[in-house]
Amino acid sequence: MMTMSSMEQIDIAAAVARALAEDIGSGDVTARLVDASKTARARLITREDAVLCGRPWFDAVFAAIDPAVCIEWQAGEGDRVSPDQVLCHIEGPARALLTGERSAMNFLQTLSATATVTRRFADAVAHTECRIVDTRKTLPGLRLAQKYAVRCGGGANHRIGLYDGILIKENHIAAAGGIQAAIRAARALRAGVPLMTEAETLDEARLALAEDVDLLLIDDFSLEQIREAVALTRAHRAAGGRSVVEYSGGASLSTIVPIAECGVDRISVGSITKHVSAVDLSMRVID
């Protein structure tokens, strides 16, 4: 099982409660067609290649509906799975299985989608030292869950929100009167969080490195500019600086390899959390 922070563990219960409240409301009227004493077994399969992610949410849905439901997983969190592969067997009160099916699968298919796409990006740059990182472009209410899914897929997390990292972007720079002024104003806050700044030109990159920011984020640079920014960052580190360099700017699977091969430390990819296409799963009662 993937390591999960205490904040993520707490978030599971809250996310599941919201999902069940919106789906069940005052009660599952269709499930009443089934005798309350009836038990059933079901199995969950995937219909496509994927990276499995979201087991804790799936388990929590059924636990919240009826603790008597037993789930026996056949695949681990973060495992690659194939079409028609059985992911788990589920047994318990029939009403509980029917009521929890959709909410549980919604979590599993969405988080597996994020993990699957992340794995494709991570595999594409595996021959380099570059890491794939996420952004704040997440589904509302599922940020912590999707960031967990990114890790399941072999990626790494950027800041969680606006509170755990200072990221100076073009509008902050313009409002503050320049990149160095913005960085120095951020340092004066003494917020105790990483200081990151976006650079849209090599001149801005040089100014940011001169201020020894934690992260230099180069935005929409050409390959030639990326290589020069990497050289500047490495020279900065060789002289005792701490900055790492990250590329940002709509990298896709068709463009990411040459960017990574320029030597950037990280590439942030918003599409791994915002352009998700749910993994096709199927749950069937077998008796």
138-170 pLDDT, tens digit per residue, is: 999 999 999 999 999 999 999 999 999 999 998
Averaged over 199-214, what is the pLDDT? 96
Residues 90 and 44 sit within 8 Å (Cβ to Cβ): yes
Q: In this predicted model, what pLDDT tens digit does every residue of 56-112 receive, in sequence order?
A: 999 999 999 999 999 999 999 999 999 999 999 999 999 999 999 999 999 999 999
pLDDT tens readout for residues 221-252: 999 999 999 999 999 999 999 999 999 988 99
Q: Rounded to the nearest 5 degrees, what angle is found at the Cα of 167, between the Cα atoms of 163 and 172?
A: 110
pLDDT in tens, 10-19: 999 999 999 9
On the CB side of 281, CA atoms within 13 Å amount to 29
User: How crowded is residue 47: how many other Cβ atoms within 10 Å of its Cβ?
Assistant: 13
| The amino acid at 105 | M
Catalytically annotated residues: 102, 137, 169, 198, 219
Q: How far apart are CA 158 and CA 150, in angstroms?
A: 10
Percent of the chain with pLDDT over 70: 100
Residues 274, 224: Cα–Cα separation, whole Å: 29
β-strand 244-248 against 266-268: which pairing, if any? Answer: parallel
Amino acid at 228: E
State the amino acid at position 10 in one-letter form: I
Which domains, from first to last, does the chain contain?
6-121+276-285 (3.90.1170.20), 123-274 (3.20.20.70)
